[in-house]
Structure 1
Amino acid sequence: MQAEYIISGQVLSFEHSPFDANTPEDAARLHEAVAIGDGKILAVGTKAGLRADHPGAEVVDHGDHLILAGFVDAHVHFPQTAIIASWGKRLIDWLNSYTFPEEMRFADRAYADDIANRYLDLTRANGTTTMCSYGTIHPESVDAFFSAAKARGQRVIAGKTCMDRNAPDGLRDTPQSAHDDSAALIARWHGVERLSYAITPRFSPTSTPEQLEAMGALWADHPDCLMQTHLSEQTDEIAWVKTLFPDARDYLDTYESFGLLGARGVYGHAIHLEPRERDRLREVDAALVHCPTSNTFIGSGLFDMAGLMADGHRVGLATDTGGGSSFSMLRTMAAAYEVGQLRGTPLHAAQLLWLATQGSARALRLDDCIGNITVGHEADLVVLDLASTPAIAQRSARAEDIWEAVFATIMMGDDRAIAEVWINGKRD
């Protein structure tokens, strides 16, 4: 049994989505403190009330810091950690110039271990407690990531990237090896402690129809797994898909035809969607993941957050490390706000925080256990200092409410704003 703690400050929880509320603020509640124990949230309420109910608990007082669920990053490539912020390429050139040469190195388990631990250190420092990551084609990459996360008690999702064409020698598998390696990894890791597996075809251009069919069969055999891939990130990518799959109705059909469209599907980017694609994704309740720093950094386009949310889509938020240019979900929220401004639909601070926590947890089908401060959820928390730098402090001092105060940290904050992180009820 872990020790009990009462953590006090401005504790933020969501009662429902701020996209569905009369005003975004109506969806949120502030409390004085949260009680945690044995890795779970036990109660929220007043500091005095929780102390009376939990007399043996250690009190951790964070003053007026904001306490919320740990950030959830719904689409990352941990193997791209070392090449983040590489200059000047669009998607296909990015893969050939930076990603594929780096991913070749992950056949070396020692290198994979080093990068997995480096990535989890960097993301924890930025307040991220859960992520859904691609590996490389090497099973060793997934073993390294899950081993590092398990040692830290983190809830994570990952999968072996599968691709059997349009990639260098040494970075291709086959339909059969992709199926068999993924099945072995599912047997080894899926459901172990806080670990879950995602079946992971990189995207249609790097998988033959035979491999996509094998991945669809694997998902049918393991329907409790997620399936993650990329969809409609750039216009030249979409044109490439049309040449590779001339009989497909659209990009989504290259997945749908092989059993790779479903409620537990997680589709990264989804910027340039056709009307049929939007309708089908909504019909099956699949998840779309907005990757704003990546989309601007490699020139992909502007995600239609307002339109997709209004239509009832399930949407998460992600850094897309390392096409995304930051490990920080604060910076990612800021970029999502900027993209919204460019589309004429700026996001409220409550909506941004919800996307980075409960929204991403919903996208990953984990909102029953993480992404919100509510009784029974796992105790993954981040504590934000809303005056972490002189520039932020002077703006926060003039804020008329919590939303003005936290918005300054969203727009200007970095790892200095992360006062403390709790993972599985343990303080890091």
Structure 2
Amino acid sequence: MGDAELILGQVLSFTGDPLTAGPAAARVEPQGAVLLADDRIADHGTAADLRAAWPQARITDMGDCLISAGFVDAHAHYPQTGIIASWGKRLIDWLDRYTFPEEMRFGDPEHAAAVASRYLDLLLNHGTTTVASYCSTHPASVDAFFAAARARGMRVVAGKTCMDRNAPEGLCDTATRAHDESAALIARWHGQGRATYAITPRFAPTSTPEQLEALGALWAAHPTCLMQTHLGEQTEEIEWVRALYPQARDYLDVYERAGLTGPGAVFGHAIHLTGRERQHLRDSGSSLVHCPTSNTFIGSGLFDMAGLADEGQRIGLATDTGGGSSFSMLRTMAAAYEVAQLRGQALHPAALWWLATAGAARALRLEDRIGNIATGMEADLIAVNLAATPAIAQRSARAEDMWEALFPTIMMGDDRAIAGVWVNGLRR
């Protein structure tokens, strides 16, 4: 074992999914410790036990901070970093007015590299240690993102966004180019270090059936890749899909016919779903990603967290920047709580934190590596100050248990709450 670091604080870990098993599936060791060695979690338990067992370890005492797995953002668009918080558009207008013009700039490798670096640094400042991001249609934007992540030691998921219709000419590829450029990027990046490639059709309206089929064939040839796209975000979008694909039973059927559902398929939003779609998503092992700040910001609708969780769906949480209005997974948890309240569902703090860590990792099929504090997991950790601002401190001081102390940080916290970040075993 190389240089070992013992991090002291209140240690949060999960033995199951609090969405379905309740808060007992989360455990907080109030006088806890996590041992990091050789980029892994080597041990965790009480501070007294680990100090005695590992007397040679370097001590980092985070006081009353909560020690947790780093946040996992399961759906985002790094090329939209510069247009976050742009006013007044719904989905299709947003793409035309903001997204497509911005993504045109990512054919410039220097621009892509600068934005990728800025974006990943923003995430780390907010405690996010893993993200699944769409890039632009330019292969250079994918290279820039993976290179920036490699320089920071981050585990990331990303892919070239593929579109061959209903987008500006400068952003469109073809079915053949989408397949071949994606295949070349898979060969260059997938499984290299901490990189996972995601085959990435933007969504059904911007791909022809031929392109979706080509990407389905590519995924079948590279089944350890993920596949990410959008599903059921807005009602106008669903009507558009129905007009473009009249033979399909529903929106999801467009992807099914192309071989783009199943284990490793990650569908962003999934708000407006038919019963048939819900059944196939569950039975196929596909994942759903809740993007609450985006869904409220552009008026998409209210995700059915309780109903989908009760069905046994695989669910993660995400910022969806820049349609989402914050880089912070704390703010995203707060929005998920508010959306659930509007559906008459009160999400427990343990469930919210699980969604932003272990749940999102599970949605990305990475739960064996990140998202929880357990022996052998990759050492991506954060220390969270539960009294980071006067407003939070005065509320948490009145708490009668750990969850009541944590909830004000979920609802009012931001990057000021992140007191420490460890990526692949190294503190940033």
TM score, norm. by length of structure 1 = 0.99
Counterpart-to-counterpart distance in 2, 1:220 and 1:25 = 39
How far off is 1:2 after superposition?
Answer: 4.8
Task: Please tell me whether the aligned partners of residues 384 and 420 of structure 1 are also in contact (alpha carbons under 8 angstroms).
Answer: yes
Cα-Cα RMSD: 0.8
Residue deviations 1:184-237, cap 9 Å, x none? 000000000100100000000000011001000000100110000000000000
Task: Please tell me whether the aligned partners of residues 265 and 286 of structure 1 are also in contact (alpha carbons under 8 angstroms).
Answer: yes
1:370 is the counterpart of 2:370: yes
What's 2:280 paired with? 280
Counterpart-to-counterpart distance in 1, 2:413 and 2:171 = 38
What's 1:28 paired with? 27
1:290 is the counterpart of 2:254: no
What's 1:230 paired with? 230
How far off is 1:28 after superposition?
Answer: 2.5
Counterpart-to-counterpart distance in 2, 1:400 and 1:106 = 50
Residue deviations 1:286-315, cap 9 Å, x none? 100000000000000000000000000000
| SS at 2:62 equivalent | strand
Counterpart-to-counterpart distance in 1, 2:156 and 2:138 = 18
What's 1:188 paired with? 188
Task: Please tell me whether the aligned partners of residues 29 and 46 of structure 2 are also in contact (alpha carbons under 8 angstroms).
Answer: no
The share of aligned pairs that are identical, in percent, is 69
Task: Please tell me whether the aligned partners of residues 13 and 68 of structure 2 are also in contact (alpha carbons under 8 angstroms).
Answer: yes
What's 1:426 paired with? 426
* Higher mean displacement: 233-242 or 255-264: 255-264
Counterpart-to-counterpart distance in 2, 1:105 and 1:57 = 47
Counterpart-to-counterpart distance in 2, 1:53 and 1:2 = 16
What's 1:253 paired with? 253
Counterpart-to-counterpart distance in 2, 1:104 and 1:178 = 16
| SS at 1:308 equivalent | helix
What's 1:153 paired with? 153
Task: Please tell me whether the aligned partners of residues 15 and 29 of structure 1 are also in contact (alpha carbons under 8 angstroms).
Answer: no
How far off is 1:135 after superposition?
Answer: 0.4
| SS at 1:240 equivalent | helix
Equivalent residues, number: 427
Counterpart-to-counterpart distance in 2, 1:355 and 1:90 = 26
* Change in 2 beyond 3 A, CA 1:212/1:153: same
Counterpart-to-counterpart distance in 2, 1:26 and 1:117 = 36
| SS at 1:347 equivalent | coil
What's 1:123 paired with? 123
Task: Please tell me whether the aligned partners of residues 212 and 258 of structure 1 are also in contact (alpha carbons under 8 angstroms).
Answer: yes
What's 1:415 paired with? 415
How far off is 1:51 after superposition?
Answer: 1.7
What's 2:172 paired with? 172
| SS at 1:19 equivalent | helix
| SS at 1:68 equivalent | strand
Counterpart-to-counterpart distance in 2, 1:109 and 1:53 = 49
> 4+ residue stretches of structure 1 with deviation over 3 A?
none
Counterpart-to-counterpart distance in 1, 2:119 and 2:149 = 10
Residue deviations 1:145-181, cap 9 Å, x none? 0000001111000000000000011110000000000
How far off is 1:26 after superposition?
Answer: 4.4
What's 1:305 paired with? 305
| SS at 2:18 equivalent | coil
How far off is 1:426 after superposition?
Answer: 0.3
Counterpart-to-counterpart distance in 2, 1:374 and 1:292 = 28
Unpaired segments of 5 or more residues in structure 1? none
Alignment of 1:21-170 (within 5 A): 21=21, 23-30=22-29, 32-170=32-170
Task: Please tell me whether the aligned partners of residues 18 and 28 of structure 1 are also in contact (alpha carbons under 8 angstroms).
Answer: no
How far off is 1:3 after superposition?
Answer: 2.0
Counterpart-to-counterpart distance in 1, 2:2 and 2:170 = 46
Unpaired segments of 5 or more residues in structure 2? none
Q: Which amino acid aligns with 2:369?
A: C
